[in-house]
């Protein structure tokens, strides 16, 4: 059995007034895993991360990081983790060199060792050219990368990243992704929160979705996607009414709607239904200009478990045509 990097059991954090930001959550992360922690704003992600990083004390429950209790052994936990918070925290009146070297020294490195490590990180995160400038003069992307470098300075076993690519341009995001992948390949456990679903899909091997302080879904991205039993078949054509009638006759249970370029059919088994629909239209001499199969994405999973759109759907208040179509189905 793999050793656990993070073990959380019945963790609760209640704030003044009884508001529970985290409500009895339990999850674990294996050593060397890349774990994604998803949820809407205010779901409890950041509070959980702050508890794991010893910045916030839990109300009850237990959290172990690298085998150390966050309440009883905070300094051991701090030595084990690197935490890049949602808001970048840097000394603006110091250079990147100074920021990194000071943090290195605070983790017990010698000046020489800290300088060497800072140089490595500045090069890896492509900041070496600006390393001697005051951080106050950095762009948002540069600050974000430096913040990640600070979190990595002491070579932590576990890296906790709270929306680390927020505000980065696509190129900057790729730099960070690549570096995180390499780190994880070298054995560093990564716990990541992000609002970019493609990022979580690309990087994380396991996910948990938190909503209202509770974990509402967990598993691999692939398994979570399987919980959405709907694919969207888009067919580009001119004779929409005739095509719609043909499809509805053959597949009366599949919701079908007009789009600006043709038709969209929702199917629980898109892989099998797409060729059947194309054959049906071909046999009826309906000219198909193009087609597309949209399989469930992590965003669909997120919306299913944590999206407010589904609350509207349940209550019948939603006016999103996409959701309306799903209701008809």
Partner 1 sequence: MNDFWRPSAHLFIRALKQSTRPLAAILPSFFLPFFFFLVNSSAFQKVTELPGFTSESYLAFYAPVALMMAVFFSSGDAGFELMLDITSGYYEKLLLTPISRYAILLPRILAMGVRAVAQGLLIFILLMLFGAPYRGGVLGAFELLGLIALFGMGWSGIGLTLAALTKNPRVLQSSFILVFPLTFITTAQLPKELLTGWYKVAVGVNPITYVLEGIRTIMTRGGGFSHEIVIAYGVALALLAVTSTLAVWSFRRSAT
Contacts with partner 1, residue ranges (CB under 8 A):
53-55, 57, 75-76, 78-79, 81, 83, 85, 87-94, 98, 102-103, 105-108, 134, 150
Return the number of the residue (7 or 91) whose C-beta is nearest partner 1: 91
Return the number of the residue (167 or 309) whose C-beta is nearest partner 1: 167
| Count of other CB atoms within 10 angstroms of residue 117 | 21
Question: Measured in whole angstroms, how far is the alpha carbon of residue 140 from the centre of its chain?
Answer: 20
Question: Measured in whole angstroms, how far is the alpha carbon of residue 133 from the centre of its chain?
Answer: 32
The minimum distance between CB 121 and partner 1, in angstroms, equals 15
User: How many angstroms separate the CA atoms of 317 and 41, rounded?
Assistant: 21
Return the number of the residue (5 or 146) whose C-beta is nearest partner 1: 146
The minimum distance between CB 97 and partner 1, in angstroms, equals 12
The minimum distance between CB 153 and partner 1, in angstroms, equals 10
Return the number of the residue (57 or 185) whose C-beta is nearest partner 1: 57
The minimum distance between CB 24 and partner 1, in angstroms, equals 23
Cβ atoms 256, 244 nearer than 8 A = yes
**Residue spans of beta strands (DSSP E) within the chain:** 4-14, 20-30, 34-38, 60-65, 68-69, 81-84, 158-162, 189-193, 206-211, 214-219, 231-237, 256-258, 262-267, 288-294
Question: Measured in whole angstroms, how far is the alpha carbon of residue 235 from the centre of its chain?
Answer: 31
Question: Measured in whole angstroms, how far is the alpha carbon of residue 197 from the centre of its chain?
Answer: 5
Return the number of the residue (13 or 304) whose C-beta is nearest partner 1: 13
Residue (of 241, 211, 214, 221) closest to 298 by Cα position: 221
Q: Which residues contact 307 (CB under 8 A, 6 or more apart)?
A: 40
Return the number of the residue (106 or 272) whose C-beta is nearest partner 1: 106
Q: Which residues contact 71 (CB under 8 A, 6 or more apart)?
A: 57, 58, 63
């Amino acid at each position: 059995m793999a050793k656990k990097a993070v073990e959380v059991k019945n963790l609760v954090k209640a704030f003044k007034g009884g508001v529970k930001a985290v409500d009895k959550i339990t999850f674990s992360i294996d050593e060397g895993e890349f774990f994604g922690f998803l949820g809407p704003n205010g779901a409890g992600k950041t509070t959980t991360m702050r508890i794991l990083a010893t910045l916030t004390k839990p109300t009850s429950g237990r959290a172990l990081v690298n085998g150390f209790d966050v309440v009883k052994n905070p300094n051991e936990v701090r030595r084990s983790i690197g935490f890049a918070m949602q808001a970048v925290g840097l000394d603006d009146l110091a250079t990147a060199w100074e920021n990194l070297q000071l943090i290195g020294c605070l983790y017990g490195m010698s000046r020489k060792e800290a300088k060497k490590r800072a140089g490595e990180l500045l090069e890896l995160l492509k900041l070496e050219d600006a390393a001697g400038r005051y951080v106050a003069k950095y762009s948002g992307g540069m600050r974000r990368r430096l913040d990640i470098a600070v979190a990595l300075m002491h070579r932590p076993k576990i890296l906790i990243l709270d929306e680390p690519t927020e505000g980065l341009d696509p190129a900057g995001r790729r730099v960070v992704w690549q570096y995180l992948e390499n780190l994880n390949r070298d054995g560093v456990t990564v716990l990541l929160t992000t609002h970019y679903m493609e990022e979580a899909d690309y990087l994380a091997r396991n996910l948990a979705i938190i909503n209202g302080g509770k974990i509402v879904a967990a598993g691999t991205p692939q398994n979570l996607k399987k919980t959405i039993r709907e694919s969207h078949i888009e067919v580009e054509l001119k004779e929409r009414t005739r095509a719609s009638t043909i499809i509805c006759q053959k597949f009366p249970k599949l919701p079908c709607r007009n789009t600006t370029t043709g038709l969209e059919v929702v199917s629980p088994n898109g892989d099998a239904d797409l060729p059947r629909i194309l054959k049906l239209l071909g046999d009826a001499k309906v000219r198909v200009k193009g087609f597309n199969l949209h399989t469930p994405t992590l965003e669909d999973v997120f919306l299913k478990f944590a999206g407010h759109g589904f609350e509207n759907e349940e209550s019948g208040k939603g006016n999103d045509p996409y959701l309306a179509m799903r209701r008809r189905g």
